[in-house]
């Protein structure tokens, strides 16, 4: 189980806890971590730091299990060599601003061997462009629960899990679409529209819903619309698209 009893309260509801006492931590780049989660049937608690030079995920695993950790592009945080402290978001925080929980503490710890295998599988995937494919059908199915023709108001107990999945889809889709759009000329309409869609998705990811159930539903629906829109961009074929001609007078290159 996840245990933060030894942590110390800091500003804004954050807590400071030493790794290697009740659990160890694996620090992973956000995109790699999200791919790894797809290979874990029941992942444990995962925290997000959106303010590093690159957003990072923190996987919590049983204490004392990272002595021989050797996965590339990841970092083991424990007390083997020196004391390492980790900032824990408030237990209820599931969205920015600041660090937040992608998967809450109630999910417990991820078995170290399970995380190791998942990261190795994610690392051996092909590069995202041009051969990497994501499951847009599954993403669209989640979005359709909120904005589809047959969508019904979800139960309050189901909504948080659905929102987490939508957020996870957007975290995968945003960099994926950005990468794919590099195949288009900078002034191509498809690329320009995708840039607007990505920007809107990022703003929605950083937004915080109101306190009422209706406001939470509306927030979830905006996430679903961004998922649907980005799926369309993710499915645009790039290998048949010719580069647009050089920009004419009055067109600003980005």
Name the least confident of 125-139, 141-155, 201-215: 125-139
Q: What pLDDT does 128 receive?
A: 44
Same-domain check for residues 153 and 112? no
Residue listed under structure tokens 């927030």: 219
Answer whether residue 246 is part of any domain: no
Answer whether residue 54 is part of any domain: yes
Same-domain check for residues 40 and 70? yes
Q: Using CB atoms within 10 A of its CB, is residue 129 exposed (0-12), middle (13-18) or buried (19+)?
A: middle
Answer whether residue 221 is part of any domain: yes
Same-domain check for residues 207 and 109? no
Q: Using CB atoms within 10 A of its CB, is residue 55 exposed (0-12), middle (13-18) or buried (19+)?
A: middle
Looking at the DSSP bridge assignments, the partners of residue 88 are 15
Whole-number Å distance between alpha carbons of 201 and 247: 28
Q: Spell out a b/e string for 162-190, using b for 16 or more CB atoms within 10 Å of the CB, else e.
A: bbbbbbbbbbbbbebbbbbbebbbbbbeb
- Give the model's confidence band at 113: pLDDT under 50 very low, under 70 low, under 90 confident, else very high: very high
Helix (H) or strand (E) holding 102, with range, is strand 100-103
Question: Helix or strand or coil: residue 46?
Answer: strand
Same-domain check for residues 170 and 78? no
Same-domain check for residues 202 and 151? yes
Most confident of 16-20, 100-104, 205-209: 100-104
Number of compact structural domains in the chain:
2
Provide CB contacts within 8 A for 90, sequence distance 6+: 12, 13, 14, 15
Q: Using CB atoms within 10 A of its CB, is residue 157 exposed (0-12), middle (13-18) or buried (19+)?
A: exposed
- Of 118, 145, 180, the residue at which a domain comes to its end is 118
List, for residues 9-19, the tens digit of each pLDDT value: 666 678 888 88
Q: Using CB atoms within 10 A of its CB, is residue 99 exposed (0-12), middle (13-18) or buried (19+)?
A: buried
109: tokens are 């710890």
Q: Look up the domain containing 40 and give its range.
A: 8-118
Answer whether residue 175 is part of any domain: yes
Answer whether residue 146 is part of any domain: yes
Name the least confident of 88-97, 130-139, 151-160, 183-192: 130-139
- Give the model's confidence band at 245: pLDDT under 50 very low, under 70 low, under 90 confident, else very high: very low
Answer whether residue 190 is part of any domain: yes
- Give the model's confidence band at 65: pLDDT under 50 very low, under 70 low, under 90 confident, else very high: very high
């Amino acid at each position: 189980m996840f245990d933060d009893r030894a942590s110390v309260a800091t500003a804004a509801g954050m807590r400071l806890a030493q790794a290697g006492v009740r659990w160890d931590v694996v620090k992973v780049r956000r995109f790699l971590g999200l791919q790894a989660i797809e290979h874990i049937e029941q992942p444990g608690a995962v925290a997000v730091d959106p303010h590093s030079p690159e957003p990072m995920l923190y996987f919590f695993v049983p204490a004392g299990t990272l002595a021989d950790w050797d996965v590339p592009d990841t970092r083991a945080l424990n007390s083997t060599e020196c004391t390492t402290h980790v900032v824990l978001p408030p237990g209820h925080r599931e969205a920015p601003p600041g660090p937040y929980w992608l998967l809450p503490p109630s999910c417990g710890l991820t078995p170290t061997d399970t995380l190791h295998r998942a990261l190795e599988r994610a690392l051996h995937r092909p590069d995202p462009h041009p051969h990497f494919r994501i499951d847009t059908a599954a993403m669209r199915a989640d979005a359709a629960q909120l904005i589809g023709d047959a969508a019904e108001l979800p139960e309050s107990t189901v909504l948080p899990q659905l929102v987490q999945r939508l957020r996870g889809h957007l975290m995968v889709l945003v960099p994926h679409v950005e990468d794919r759009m590099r195949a288009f000329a900078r002034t191509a309409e498809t690329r320009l529209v995708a840039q607007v869609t990505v920007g809107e998705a990022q703003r929605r990811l950083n937004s915080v819903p109101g306190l009422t159930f209706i406001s939470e539903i509306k927030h979830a629906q905006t996430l679903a619309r961004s998922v649907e829109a980005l799926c369309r961009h993710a499915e645009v074929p790039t290998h048949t698209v010719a580069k647009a001609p050089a920009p004419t007078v009055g067109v600003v290159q980005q």
